[in-house]
Amino acid sequence: MRRLVAFENVTLDGYFAATDGDIGWAHGAPDPEFDAFVADNASGGGQLLLGRKTYELMAGYWPTSLASQQAPIVAERMNHLPKVVFSRTMDTVSWSNTKLVKGHLPAAIRRMKNESGPGMAILGSGSLVSQLAQEGLIDEYQLVVNPVVLGDGRALFDGITARLGLKLTGSQVFRNGRVFLCYESVA
């Protein structure tokens, strides 16, 4: 069975985006150690799962020459990895190696998890995370806690009505104040 990992940037007060959708705070201060960590984490391969909003943000950046200049290793991987965007409103996708899936999200993920192949990762896409977490379909949560407080925004686990049991399996503190936390789901 394929594993599903959610890699998310969150603020200290638990938001993944400001109320207006801004995620500029997630870029933070430059830190070579953190940049190397992100590049290494992106080397795992697999398949990326994205919601419409995250897809539009990423498809507007990663294929550009600016992305290739700013983060060449990550850009190359993002552009070549297979991607699936889940949307009820989109009709087409244009980013290389991207497939559009419509329909019932949990059922589609259950099918995908039962297929053979590499693992899957959700990047951003808070609405996907909250829907799939509620269904117990996420195997691992990789959270980067950023040293910023928004006071208001979109909570990563908004809409969760049942308690999620998680077990800490790893952590790392970076000089720029970010903290990486890795949790596995427990029954």
The string of DSSP letters for 135-164 reads: TT---EEEEEEES---SSSEETTTT--SPP
Biggest alpha carbon–alpha carbon distance for the chain = 44
Q: Do 166 and 141 contact (CB within 8 A), yes or no?
A: yes
Which domains are present in the chain?
4-185 (3.40.430.10)
**CA 114 – CA 135 distance, rounded (Å):** 15
The one-character DSSP state at 25 is: G
Whole-number pLDDT of residue 111: 95
pLDDT in tens, 72-98: 888 998 999 999 999 999 999 999 999
Whole-number pLDDT of residue 43: 66
pLDDT in tens, 154-185: 999 988 998 999 999 999 999 999 999 999 99
pTM of the model: 0.91
Q: Do 174 and 32 contact (CB within 8 A), yes or no?
A: no
Q: Which of 61, 187, 186 is nearest to 123 (CA)?
A: 61
For residue 42, name the pLDDT band (cuts at 50, 70, 90): low
For residue 145, name the pLDDT band (cuts at 50, 70, 90): very high
Spell out the SS3 assignment of 31-96.
Answer: CHHHHHHHHHHHHHCCEEEEEHHHHHHHHCCCCCHHHHHHCHHHHHHHHHCCEEEECCCCCCCCCC
Instruction: Output phi, psi for 21, to 5 deg.
Output: 90, -5
